[in-house]
Amino acid sequence: MEKKSVEELKEIAKDLRKKVVTILYEAGSGHPGGSLSAADFVTACYFYEMNVDPKNPKWAERDRFVLSKGHVCPVLYAALSTRGFFPEETLHTLRKEGSPLQGHPNFNCPGIDIPTGSLGQGLACAVGMAIGLKYDKKNSRVFAVLGDGECQEGEIWEAAQTANKYKLDNLIAFVDKNNLQIDGPTDEVMPLLNLGEKFKAFGFEVYDIDGNDMNQIVQTLDEIRGKGQNQKPKCIIGRTIKGKGVSFMENQVGWHGVAPKKDELERALKDIEEGF
């Protein structure tokens, strides 16, 4: 696939956000807040950076994607559908019985590299994949999307230590730092202190960016790719806004796991289209 321009990526991210709120409305349940905050990075992965083949989802040479915060799978499903892994009409079966698109990713959905959702485990899975790729002497990379709330889990830091030990320069972790989790602000639930300094202390090369700014995301991915094999795992701390793009959802913890009603869907689609 030819890399999309920044302007094209912005339009794709807008389209993914529309799809997210639409399928959540249709399902009557799900997680809009974190899906919307992560939309820009997910867009950049699938339409700019990652080497994947929708016609051959299990292609051995592909880059891998791990959605550690698996509850925000609506944005991943929207990206996979738009990229051509499955027909768009399948999106509208979200959370329905028999659908490949359940409330957390699983292997029934084409393009899913690992089922996720037990928070704190995704980075460990990504580390295992990255080690395996090194062992098999493949140049593929592993992209992992973490929530900031799940960085309160000890397993995240065990995985980080392992990534450093095995010099996993084929691992890129993105922390969707929107400062809110289901129980409230992360700093009130369990203060994270300086996440960037923490990952640095665990041997990562760290980039602190506006995670909703497509220019910054693309520039950071370019910089990481340009460094090649420098024996350091990478971590992008993406400062994002929960519910990004929808005025009444932005920075509102109440929209962590609540689907919009019909009138709210109409308002949300208008906000996303117009950039409120």
CATH of the domain at 244: 3.40.50.970
Strand order in the sheet with 205-210: 64-67, 142-147, 171-177, 234-239, 205-210
**pLDDT one-digit tens code per residue, 192-232:** 999 999 999 999 999 999 999 999 999 999 999 998 889 99
Q: Are 118 and 140 in contact (CB under 8 A)?
A: no
Residues 173-189: what's their mean pLDDT?
A: 97
Residue 102 lies in a domain: yes
Residue 103 lies in a domain: yes
Within 8 A by CB and 6+ apart from 258, the residues are 32
Residue 1 lies in a domain: no
State the pLDDT confidence band at 169, using cuts at 50, 70 and 90.
very high
Out of 65-74, 125-134, 160-169, 223-232, pick the least confident: 223-232
Residue 181 lies in a domain: yes
C-alpha angle 177/212/71, rounded to 5°?
55
pTM across the whole model: 0.97
Residue 15 lies in a domain: yes
Tally the domains of the chain.
Answer: 1
DSSP alpha helix (H) spans, 182-261:
186-189, 195-201, 214-227
Tell whether the model's pLDDT for residue 276 goes beyond 80: no
- CA-based torsion, 16, 17, 19, 24: positive or negative: positive
Residue 196 lies in a domain: yes
Tell whether the model's pLDDT for residue 269 goes beyond 80: yes
Residue 275 tokens, joined = 């950039």
**pLDDT one-digit tens code per residue, 8-20:** 999 999 999 999 9
Q: What is the structure's pLDDT at 122?
A: 97
